[in-house]
Amino acid sequence: MKPLPIAETEARPPICKWLRAKTHGVHGDPAALHALRDDASAIFWCLLTMSPAGPDDGLAHVRDCGESRACATPAGSDEVA
């Protein structure tokens, strides 16, 4: 009997350390934030602006708050706002 193939984990692009979600227990945990990326009821906000938009006026969402944005600070960085 052949062993079952193990599904590869999906690569998660880096996200901004200031991204948050209004969900219990997700406070800055990148893995938990990525798990919410397809949740239609998840509400994301930027900790720098305390609003659903980042400093660049772009929408705060796990799919958008990454290295492509000038205002993003990589998760795990020691940089302070």
Q: Is residue 65 within 8 Å of residue 54, measured between CB atoms?
A: yes
pTM of the model: 0.75
So where are the chain's domains?
Answer: 14-76
| For residue 67, pLDDT beyond 80 | yes
Range 31-43 burial, b when 16+ CB lie within 10 A, else e: eebebbeeeeebe
Fill in the amino acid letter for 1.
M
Supply the mean pLDDT for the chain. 83
Give the tens place of pLDDT for each residue, 30-59. 888 888 888 888 899 999 999 999 999 999
- Whole-Å CA distances, 15 to 1, 22, 74: 41, 16, 6
**Calpha distance 24→55 (Å, rounded):** 25
